Amino acid sequence: MQTNYRIIFHIDLNCFFAACEVLDNPSLKGKPVVVCHKDPLKRGIILTASYEARRYGIYTTMLLNEALLLCPGLTAVEPHYDLYNKYSNKFFAYLKSITPKVEPMSIDEGFLDMTDVVKENAYDFAKQMQDYILNVIGLPCSIGIGPNKFLAKMASDIKKPLGITILRKRDIPNIMWPLPVKDLFGVGKKTRARLEPLGIKTIGDLANYPDQDKLKEVVGPAMLEYIHDRCFGIDNSKVEYENLDDVSSISNETTFQISMTNIKFIKDNLKLLTNQVSARLVRHKVAAQTVGIKIKFSNFTTISRSRSVARPINDSLDLWEIVNDLFDDLYDGYSEIRLVGVFTNRLVDQVNSVRQYSLFDDLDNVEKDKKVNDLVKMLNKEYGDKTIRIGIEGNKYGRKRD
């Protein structure tokens, strides 16, 4: 059935990290569970909270010691990124079996352009997909359906877990405008703080605010244009998907639920993105001559930096060394970050065998390797270029220290 409009799905896995942990350890099912890094003082930041935990008021980015005050029986588990990668790969492999037009948003969500796929009722098609992801892969998800990416994303957030919501432009006044302005995707904490003194509490209040000049003064002209378009469901961006016959660049990015300044949390996400980009490079049998990162701040300022390499690379550790250095050079340590991404371009065919590692086999050892490299560079600079050398074969990371 040909249509003169687009049908976009946004599929979001519910409490993904926690859901993976339950699949791996069924004894956790039905219990309040959070995923966070170990900290002797229990100050680790919560990466994901199960819905059982959320009933106690626990949320992502809360500190573990605060969560334990709300729920003394809370179970905290250390993140297992290899496990999350495994289930993410299953999820996206299924999506791509439905349509090649899949744009990953992060490890646990993506857009699909279903315009050429859906022949009958879009809701029924989405229900079949949701049932497969739940019953075969084992993960609950919510699905939003709309004529563009923005409305599909807004729709998927309306009902969780296991929701399916259709949001058309004609539905905006009744479904979207009554929502709190904080639910408008892309509007961050700082913008909301500027809107509240104007009496703007809902998306409808923002859409129908009578003094546009005042709004422009408060949020700026660029932000005003963005929020005006979104309030009325306007979004012309396309689902960006890989053409497997013509891969000129490979990238991945993730948008945080709230703006972040926690460096460990941000770097963990960058490591995950680096691993995914590495896997895709290897899958396409290509290596990158340029590696870069993208950072979008809460004020919508976006910066990107890249670095070229003499030898094309596609393994996780080589990519991470560059990504980590670029981030350290760019980030001031306090600005709020909304999105991070890793990209590669100037791709060439992989002629020689290139090492491929799971970046998350042992994060501590990866960090130790970097510290050793930094120490060697310092000593060689101080005492001569060949005072200490590091080989590249031997241990589980392919690196043997001489």
217: left (phi over 0), alpha (psi -120 to 50) or beta: alpha
Q: Is 277 exposed, middle or buried (0-12, 13-18, 19+ CB in 10 A)?
A: buried
Residue-by-residue DSSP string for 110-154: EEEE-TTT--S-HHHHHHHHHHHIIIII---EEEEEESSHHHHHH
Active site residues: 109
Which of 22-36, 317-331, 333-347, 383-397 comes out lowest in average pLDDT? 383-397
70-107 pLDDT, tens per residue? 999 999 999 888 898 899 989 999 999 999 999 887 78
Dist CA 47 CA 31 (whole Å):
17
Q: Is the peptide bond before 161 cis (omega within 30 degrees of 0)?
A: yes
Out of 73-77, 169-173, 234-238, pick the least confident.
234-238
Q: Choose from 67-76, 185-194, 230-239, 373-382 the range with maximum mean pLDDT.
A: 67-76
Q: Give the pTM.
A: 0.66
How many helices (H) and strands (E) the chain has is answered by 13, 12
pLDDT digit string, tens, across residues 256-297: 877 888 898 899 899 989 988 988 888 888 998 889 999 988
Domains delineated in the chain: 1-167 (3.30.70.270), 172-233 (1.10.150.20), 249-349 (3.30.1490.100)
CA angle at 15 for the pair 88 and 164, rounded to the nearest 5°: 90
Q: Which of 11-15, 260-264, 352-356, 394-398 has the lowest mean pLDDT?
A: 394-398
Q: What does the angle CA 94 – CA 95 – CA 98 come to, to the nearest 5 degrees?
A: 95
Q: Mean pLDDT score of the chain, rounded to an integer?
A: 83
Total residue count of the chain as it appears in this document: 402
CA nearest to 8, candidates 161, 132, 160, 116: 116
What angle is formed at CA 166 by the lines to CA 161 and CA 170, rounded to 5 degrees?
Answer: 140
Q: Measured in whole angstroms, how far is the alpha carbon of residue 96 from the centre of its chain? A: 18
At 315-330, the pLDDT tens digits run 888 899 899 988 988 8
Distances (CA, A) of 105 to 22, 33, 92, 241, 293: 23, 25, 11, 11, 15
pLDDT at 76: 95
Q: Which residues of 1-13 are buried (b: 16+ CB within 10 A; e: fewer)?
A: eeeeebbbbbbbb
Whether 273 contacts 252, CB under 8 Å: yes
Question: What is the separation, in whole angstroms, between the first and last Cα of the chain?
Answer: 65
Q: What is the pLDDT of residues 108-126, one digit of tens each?
A: 889 999 999 997 899 999 9
Handedness of CA 96, 99, 101, 104 (dihedral sign): negative
Alpha-carbon distances of 196 from 131, 218, 253, rounded to whole Å: 40, 11, 30
Given a cut of 70, is residue 24 above it in pLDDT?
yes
Instruction: Write b or e for each residue in 225-254: b if 16 or more Cβ atoms lie within 10 A of its Cβ, otherwise e.
Output: ebbbebbebebeeebebbeeeeeeebbbbb
* pLDDT above 70: residue 42: yes
